[in-house]
Chains A and B, each alone.
Chain A
Amino acid sequence: MKLTYLGLALASLTGSVHAADLGATDDPIKLAVNEWTGQHVSTHVAGEMLKAAGYKVEYVTAGYMNMYQAMSDGELHAALEIWSSNVSDDYAKQVEAGGVTELGDLGLDAKEGIAYPAHVADMCPGLPAWEALKDCAQKFATAETLPAGRLVDYPADWGTPGADRMTGLDLPFKAVPAGSEGALIAELRASTEKGSPLLITFWQPHWAMSAYDVKFVDLPVGEEACFNDPAWGPNPNAVNDCDFAPTRIFKASWSGLADKWPAAAEILTNYTMSVEDQQPLMGQIDVDGQSVEEAVAAWMAANEATWKPVVDAATK
């Protein structure tokens, strides 16, 4: 018996230098399913890849903000789409404590910015150039922000990037924190349906970008200097007078992942997903009403060339 094992191990070693041991294939790997569709897509594609490699996978719903304690306890094994722009403080704490490990970038090219539904361009001529906002701030004013215009910012616990831009560029807008993602979407929807003005902090990839025809305001491209050196940029007296710092979207896992399931850790580390792949899948799910499983299964069948090599590299 021992000899056979040795022989197998030698054979696999000679087969590929990267091939890793599958590990405990009888125990399911638990992947965190958070609250938004894009994340469901990223997670299910990764899960199907793990299944193709011979693992059992369990999709576990988990609150995005509160899942890191569970991950550190080994009750959740990986989360595949974490946005650096609104990651919980708990993530850094758990990484520092050693229970959670980062698995590198997902490769999703995200953009955040100051945005508006397309019809707003008629109310504020000159958009998408940011300078146009100086003169039409009054049009965005509401009871709470008078005389300044109103900018709907991220929920307070995601940080205040919108407010920072307004201060940096010295624009007469007051930022109102949204409270939740649902509140942001409700604002976009109401503005599109009422034809009312709206300036909002938003991001892509997001299904609402196309559903409500959302456009980004053109801001000066952000460089490192913009965030440190007041002299840089259109406003000589302030930092942040430029576009958003690029957002990283990354993966993380329970620190014990690589020991228990070495090949799975390798697959998840090398796994990437692009906006071009994710966005149409989101549309099929949110707009056309397909289930995540259906949409992902069809995508897996059609795009074997994209994901198969990652699985093969780790297992063969």
Chain B
Amino acid sequence: MMVEDHSVAAPLRRLAGLSPASIAAMITLIVGALCVALEPTLPWLVKYPAAWSIPASDWIGSALTWFLGLIKPAMRIISAGLAYPMDWAHALFTFVPWPLTIGLVTALGWYIGGLSLAALGLGGLIFVLASGYWLESMSTLSLVAVSVPLALLTGGATGILANEFPKFKNAIQTVLDVMQTVPTFAYLTPLLFLFGFGPVVGLIASAIYAAPPMARNVILGLERVESDIKEAAIMSGGTRLQQLFLIEIPSAKTQIMVGVNQCLMAALSMVIIAAVIGGFKDIGWEVLLTMRKAQFGPSLMAGLVIVVFAMIIDRYSGKLATERSRYDGRVALAIGAVGLVAALAFWGKLSNPSSITLLDPVASWLDQSLTGFLKQNGGALDSIKNGAMFYALLPLRIGLDGAVLPFTWGFQWTPVMSAAFIAVAAAAGLVLALRGRVALGIILVIIAGVIETGVSDLPWPFLLVGAGALGWVSGGRKLATFAFVMLGLVLISGLWDRALLSLYMSGASVITCAVLGGAIGLLCAISPMAWRVVLPICDMLQTIPLFVFLIPVLMFFQIGEFSAFLAICLYAIVPMIRYTRHGLVTTPEELIEAAVSSGATEWQTMIEVRAPYAAPTILLGLNQTILYAFAMLVIAALIGTTGLGQSIYGALAGADVGLGITSGAAMAILALVADRLVQGFAEERRQALGL
């Protein structure tokens, strides 16, 4: 737990005999208490005065507009150039008759992975055909087909650049972080301005989002090339380029293929964003149209089409990455030939794939089931929502003093109750402190204070100092400064109030996901049966366009925070489940055997051996959950939240470049600070375990 010596705090610590965590918590507590105590005389301590903000979004807006105008002609040339491959791909994919496409995909599946992949390809594409979205899907595929090579090239080049010039590695990593955390909606307006209109903008947005995973995996792969291989390459006298392309990149192939796989998945997940711009009748546009009519069945069908493509692409490229062996090429050729013959035989007689409506009854049945469920359970749904709002979400947002009213809890919260509540927490904290858990005791008091005040009313010095203190404990002085300065930037940008609302929304979701997802992950680690049920659900939640889930959530629980909260949880819980399970099941056998032979029960092994060993992995899962929650905040704005997500969406509607970029940056800052803090703790756990 110990962090290395920090010169300023060292004497302090010797004085008090406290751990750094305790000191950090203590400072935070004192700052918070001071703010609350001084609020009546110095109100600016709690609510940051608007007059102290700088008009950051205006400045950024005008600077960017000037800069964008400068580079616009060059960018227009790029987009005109990209329009050619885009048009060719589109013409090709929509021209090829569907029996041939299905035949070729099935043949490829056979060649890569045998019967199971061939069946997946065949079944998946038949589903797409039956849904009536064939042509739209082909438009989508042509977009992915152009954006992925673009992302692979730029991502790969970036990765190699970082490897060749270690000086730039940190800077490049930061740029990659930013590319992945600034919500795409935030930079759509500048992209539209720069690149014009239509599928090319979607293509570029999707390439921006899909390139970082490729770059990261290339960096990681090249880093892990064994030094003797590198030395052998140097000894054999090749130039640096030869060493790189003939030796190092081939040895890093497996890791790079993981990057290709992730790049494909990321590009596909951006499809819906491309549709918001329009210019292209693709599957994302269909999702948007049905979503606008609140038709759950049809929009789920359109969403499942995207899931099917994601699954096919994921499994195919995953197999390509991990296995070298290939299946009989002659069988593949035969399958392809069958498709070709079918296409030729029925040339001109094939019905227009858009007129196929085999799955329409399923879609309307789904829609009616939703209606039936609502009619029967309307009251129960309302009480679930009210319960969650009254007893959890409202107190967290506006504090017990604001949320406890005769309407909600049946009585009025009084200052006496506040005092009693804090006193109880303080007493419990004191008990913990006396037992030697000083930091935990203080944190308990802090949490009680937060619940009493409410996240949206927290004093800004408390949050800044708190984040700095956490950074200090997690990663030392550098991280502390980073957290403090970054949050300070959000504070003076004038977006603080909205940022607090976003923090509350994502905080509530992350806590819920951590507890619930951790429990589900634990269950899946114990029971393979449960994992078999949970895995496909996780896959679906991660690849289906999130818009699709907004409809049932809205119909069950209406517009408001609870719906937004649920939508975020649905998406953000997945990594928590995956990583928890993964961490728990990958504990080395010898550790478990040692525990079992010393007489530990299965449960004891889980708690004493597996859980501590899995802690770094689980923390990484938490880290991903936080990033996912922030990503989902923007989508949740469509349900009517009021935080930064809403600003981003409003900026998009109003073509306000400055506000969009500033809000996107604020969102990215919150995500990055949380990311660094959790990674700091994970790194420390790893070191403690000697990994």
Chain A: CB-nearest residue to B277? A63
Write the nearest CB–CB distance from A200 to chain B, whole angstroms: 10
* Known A143-B389, A144-B561, A183-B640: A66·B276 in contact at CB below 8 Å: yes
Chain A: CB-nearest residue to B355? A291
Q: Mark B348-383, 1 if CB is under 8 A from A, else 0.
A: 000000000000000000000001001100100010
Chain A residues, CB < 8 A from B408: 143, 146
Q: Contact at A186–B654, with CB atoms within 8 Å? A: no
Q: How far is the CA of A35 from the CA of B640 in the complex (A)?
A: 19
Q: Mark A176-210, 1 if CB is under 8 A from B, else 0.
A: 11111111011101100111100000000001000
Q: Contact at A69–B653, with CB atoms within 8 Å? A: no
Across chains A and B, the number of contacting residue pairs, with CB separation under 8 Å, is 161
Write the nearest CB–CB distance from B215 to chain A, whole angstroms: 29
Q: How far is the CA of A189 from the CA of B559 in the complex (A)?
A: 12
Does A156 have its Cβ within 8 Å of any Cβ on chain B? yes
Q: Contact at B558–A190, with CB atoms within 8 Å? A: yes
Q: How far is the CA of A76 from the CA of B637 in the complex (A)?
A: 29
Chain A: CB-nearest residue to B289? A35
Q: Which residue in A176, A195, A196 is a CB contact (below 8 Å) of B640?
A: A176
Q: Contact at B654–A89, with CB atoms within 8 Å? A: yes
Interface size on A, residues (CB 8 A): 49
* Known A61-B280, A63-B277, A76-B197: A179·B378 in contact at CB below 8 Å: no
Q: Mark B216-259, 1 if CB is under 8 A from A, else 0.
A: 00000000000000000000000000000000000000000000
Chain B residues, CB < 8 A from A35: 288-289, 292
Q: How far is the CA of A310 from the CA of B652 in the complex (A)?
A: 37
Q: Which residue in A63, A179, A185 is a CB contact (below 8 Å) of B638?
A: A179
Q: Contact at B407–A193, with CB atoms within 8 Å? A: no
Q: Which residue in B197, B382, B389 is a CB contact (below 8 Å) of A73?
A: B197
Chain B residues, CB < 8 A from A63: 276-278
Q: Which residue in A75, A185, A194 is a CB contact (below 8 Å) of B198?
A: A75
Does A88 have its Cβ within 8 Å of any Cβ on chain B? yes
Q: Contact at A185–B378, with CB atoms within 8 Å? A: no
Q: How far is the CA of A97 from the CA of B671 in the complex (A)?
A: 38
Chain B residues, CB < 8 A from A65: 652-653, 655
Q: Which residue in B291, B556, B642 is a CB contact (below 8 Å) of A182?
A: B291
Does B188 have its Cβ within 8 Å of any Cβ on chain A? yes
Does B338 have its Cβ within 8 Å of any Cβ on chain A? no
Write the nearest CB–CB distance from B185 to chain A, whole angstroms: 11
Q: Contact at A187–B288, with CB atoms within 8 Å? A: no
Q: Contact at B188–A146, with CB atoms within 8 Å? A: no
Chain B residues, CB < 8 A from A194: 374-375, 378
Stretch in B143-151, B428-436, B547-555, B604-612 with 4+ CB within 8 Å of A: B547-555
Q: Mark A13-28, 1 if CB is under 8 A from B, else 0.
A: 0000000000000000
Chain B residues, CB < 8 A from A52: none
Chain B: CB-nearest residue to A86? B653
Q: Mark A66-92, 1 if CB is under 8 A from B, else 0.
A: 111110010110000000000011100
Does B649 have its Cβ within 8 Å of any Cβ on chain A? yes
Q: Contact at A190–B554, with CB atoms within 8 Å? A: yes
Q: From residue 266 to 325 of chain B, which have CB atoms closer than 8 A to chain A?
A: 276-281, 285, 288-289, 291-294
Q: Contact at B559–A66, with CB atoms within 8 Å? A: no
Does A256 have its Cβ within 8 Å of any Cβ on chain B? no
Chain B: CB-nearest residue to A211? B293
Q: How far is the CA of A186 from the CA of B189 in the complex (A)?
A: 28
Does A137 have its Cβ within 8 Å of any Cβ on chain B? no
* Known A69-B197, A194-B378: A147·B407 in contact at CB below 8 Å: yes
Does A8 have its Cβ within 8 Å of any Cβ on chain B? no
* Known A73-B197, A156-B650, A176-B560: A61·B293 in contact at CB below 8 Å: no
Does B656 have its Cβ within 8 Å of any Cβ on chain A? yes
Does B193 have its Cβ within 8 Å of any Cβ on chain A? yes
Does B180 have its Cβ within 8 Å of any Cβ on chain A? no
Q: From residue 557 to 594 of chain B, which have CB atoms closer than 8 A to chain A?
A: 558-562
Chain A residues, CB < 8 A from B503: none
Chain A residues, CB < 8 A from B277: 62-63, 66
Does B390 have its Cβ within 8 Å of any Cβ on chain A? yes
Does A157 have its Cβ within 8 Å of any Cβ on chain B? yes
Q: Contact at B638–A69, with CB atoms within 8 Å? A: no
Chain A residues, CB < 8 A from B638: 179-180, 182-183
Q: From residue 601 to 654 of chain B, which have CB atoms closer than 8 A to chain A?
A: 637-642, 646, 649-650, 652-654
Does A308 have its Cβ within 8 Å of any Cβ on chain B? no
Does B196 have its Cβ within 8 Å of any Cβ on chain A? yes
Does B335 have its Cβ within 8 Å of any Cβ on chain A? no
Q: Mark A149-190, 1 if CB is under 8 A from B, else 0.
A: 000100111000000000000000000111111110111011
Does A221 have its Cβ within 8 Å of any Cβ on chain B? no
Q: From residue 496 to 520 of chain B, which have CB atoms closer than 8 A to chain A?
A: none
Q: How far is the CA of A68 from the CA of B278 in the complex (A)?
A: 12
- If A65-B652, A156-B650, A157-B653 are given as contacts, then 17 extra A-B residue pairs at C-beta distance below 8 Å, sorted by A number, are A33-B278, A60-B279, A62-B197, A65-B653, A70-B192, A70-B279, A90-B655, A142-B558, A143-B389, A143-B560, A179-B637, A179-B638, A179-B646, A179-B649, A186-B294, A187-B554, A195-B378
A to B CB contacts below 8 Å, 25 in the list: A35-B292, A36-B292, A60-B278, A62-B197, A62-B278, A63-B277, A66-B189, A67-B278, A69-B655, A70-B192, A88-B655, A143-B385, A143-B560, A144-B560, A157-B653, A179-B638, A179-B639, A179-B641, A179-B646, A182-B550, A183-B554, A185-B293, A189-B371, A190-B556, A194-B374
Which residues of A approach B to under 8 Å, CB–CB? Answer: 33-36, 60-63, 65-70, 73, 75-76, 88-90, 93, 142-144, 146-147, 152, 155-157, 176-183, 185-187, 189-190, 193-196, 207, 286
